[in-house]
A and B are shown apart, each in its own frame.
Chain A
Amino acid sequence: MSIFKDKQYLRVNVDKAPDDSLWMKCKACGELVFKRRVRENSNICPSCGEYFFLTVEERIEMLVDADSFDNISKSIEADDPLHFVDRTSYQDRIEKAQGLTGLPDAIVVGRATITQSPVVLAVMDFRFIGGSMGSVMGEQICHGMETAIEDRCPFILVSSSGGARLQEGLFSLLQMAKTAAVRAKLAEAGLPFISIMTYPTSGGVQASIASLGDIIIAERGAMIGFAGRRVIQFTIAQELPADYQTDAFAFEHGAIDRVVQRANMREELSSLLGFFVEVA
């Protein structure tokens, strides 16, 4: 744990990837693509348009004014209240994920500006146990909203999560209630909450805080929904349409406000925030 002892766990570590090869194979189209071109293209396959995951650092870099991000995450980590062990222990999963991501848990919160407008921004990292929401994520989201209330500025949450963190049992489930309760305070304070859903926004995160945005924006290519395909087939054996839980499906059925290309997201936020300048 020594590497997390100071609060400098968030490094914008573009070059941290262990694989230094110049080329990568796109999982979607199978093409060998030049890594630098992928990066320059907002981490989207230049050949087929497939969106690749963004790390927290990449996502933040892509959304906010250069060098404006100030990490204000609480200095906390999971403490395994159930002493959960399945095929491996939760403790081990946490350590592995911390080693992999350089993050204490699956979310980072900070102050930043977007075209000079101050915001509080919270970003999830799917690489950290599927971006799952346990006690730490719940606390960090609430901390983010409370900071936005203190600062009287908008709160932006970028979700990338499979849902609740199973290894914390009911503690995880109750984070849905916790984040909803604090979200109500943000509304009482009259401050806007912009929820950005990326691939994937599902389960307990989609069924709580992510769906409570004043404005909900999906990144193109997002997967949005409550119960995954496997669950449906397992529980009620229903045939699923091809567009099931896609951004288009959510939009078509009125669950979200807008769908935005990744490369346009900063501009999108910038113009949206412009409407709320007088509020904050």
Chain B
Amino acid sequence: MSDERTLDLLETKIEELKQLNAMDGIDLSGEITKLEKKLVELRRKLYSNLSDWERVKIARNPKRPYALDYIKLMFDGFYEIHGDRMIGDDRALLTGLAQLDGRTVMLVAQQKGRTTEENKERYFGMTRPQGYRKAVRAMKLAERFSFPVVTLIDTPGAYPGVESEASNIGGAIAESLLAMSQLRTPIVSVVIGEGGSGGALAIGLADRVLMLENAVYSVITPEGAAAILWKEKDRSQEAAAALQLTAEHLLQLGLIDGVIPEPLGGAHKDFAMTVAALKPSVVGLLDELRSLGIDELLDARFRRYRAVGSFRELGTSHEASSSDEKVSSENEADAAIISNDSPDA
């Protein structure tokens, strides 16, 4: 029996005992306390040392809170606005006005589905061109009234189908990046689950970027990287580690601003606790950003993105650390097609 399964059984058992305890007036509290202690220990053992790949799985767990859950628990009075005014309304990306801690914000949030029916409507959380164009429309609306923008990122990637290409999905993503780089109002982005490549970044060019502890953010899925670079799909675990796609790694690399702790086992174990950790951070960041003059804000945003990258002076410090690895000409050919066929890399 796997540890996960033991954990589930233990949780069920405690639940049963609690019900019995309440019903019959029999005092089972000693037993319950004992089991709860065991549960906490097991969880700690199981979750304190998660591999990067395990975090990928948690980030994709359909029980995890989705955008609509945050909208319900963290914001008040969501007033959704629909449609890109051109093609239609993308249900995988929601936009609308809401109150956060008593102040109006514009929400731009990617929404996955849980059931087959929902996933059909939401395209498995994959945003289409009309979604990105709706996002730009909503953000420009926010700019006109100086409402800050909060984006919630959760997508496997932009929708790659023929209809997407026919509506210039690449151009829609590019235009969103351009618009966000110039938007004259504060932007805070939170990766709540899967940050899938360009489809995620398209609503992620922000003044501050947060990630939930078990969220991931990557240029390509581990499966895609395994298929393209390793040529073996079952090397996804290795690829996940190599890509440094977890919140902790990305914080260390200086590419995000903060990590929001999740309840032990993941955000899906306790929505309220997750929201309680996230909300004050977002409110605090918005207060901080609002205190800056708008030109100062835009200037800081520009400098942030102008500076991103990692390179060195030509011909400096060169360790031949890995030059003993064999490289065949076949490898070169593989490398040459790296992203021509990679999921929205």
Contact of A228 among B161, B198, B342 (CB under 8 A): B342
CB distance from B126 to the nearest CB of A (A): 8
A169 touches B309 (CB 8 A): no
User: Is A229's CB within 8 Å of the partner chain B?
Assistant: yes
> In chain A, residues 31-88, which have Cβ atoms closer than 8 Å to a Cβ of chain B?
75-79, 81-82, 84-88
> In chain A, residues 148-206, which have Cβ atoms closer than 8 Å to a Cβ of chain B?
161-178, 180-185, 200, 202-204, 206
Chain A proximity mask over B240-252: 1 for CB below 8 Å, otherwise 0: 0011110000100
A105 (CB) vs chain B CBs: closest residue: B311
Contact of B314 among A76, A82, A182 (CB under 8 A): A76
> In chain B, residues 177-222, which have Cβ atoms closer than 8 Å to a Cβ of chain A?
177-178, 181-182, 197-198, 201-202, 204-205, 217-220
Segment with Cβ contacts to B, from A1-9, A10-18, A20-28, A107-115: A1-9
B309 touches A170 (CB 8 A): no
Chain B proximity mask over A112-126: 1 for CB below 8 Å, otherwise 0: 000000000000001
CB distance from A134 to the nearest CB of B (A): 8
A95 touches B339 (CB 8 A): no
Chain A contacts of B310 at CB under 8 A?
79, 81, 135, 168, 171
User: Is B332's CB within 8 Å of the partner chain A?
Assistant: yes
B305 touches A227 (CB 8 A): no
A142 CA to B306 CA, complexed, in Å: 8
Chain B contacts of A172 at CB under 8 A?
219
B176 (CB) vs chain A CBs: closest residue: A180
A203 CA to B224 CA, complexed, in Å: 13
Chain A contacts of B165 at CB under 8 A?
225-227, 244-245, 249, 253
A67 CA to B120 CA, complexed, in Å: 57
Q: A87-B229, A135-B310, A162-B342 are in contact. List 19 more A-B contacts (CB 8 A).
A: A1-B314, A76-B313, A87-B334, A88-B327, A91-B323, A93-B332, A132-B338, A164-B345, A166-B338, A168-B219, A176-B174, A177-B177, A180-B174, A180-B178, A181-B306, A206-B174, A226-B160, A231-B343, A232-B160
The 9 nearest A-B residue pairs measured at CB: A163-B339, A227-B160, A228-B341, A135-B309, A162-B340, A89-B322, A81-B310, A180-B177, A230-B341
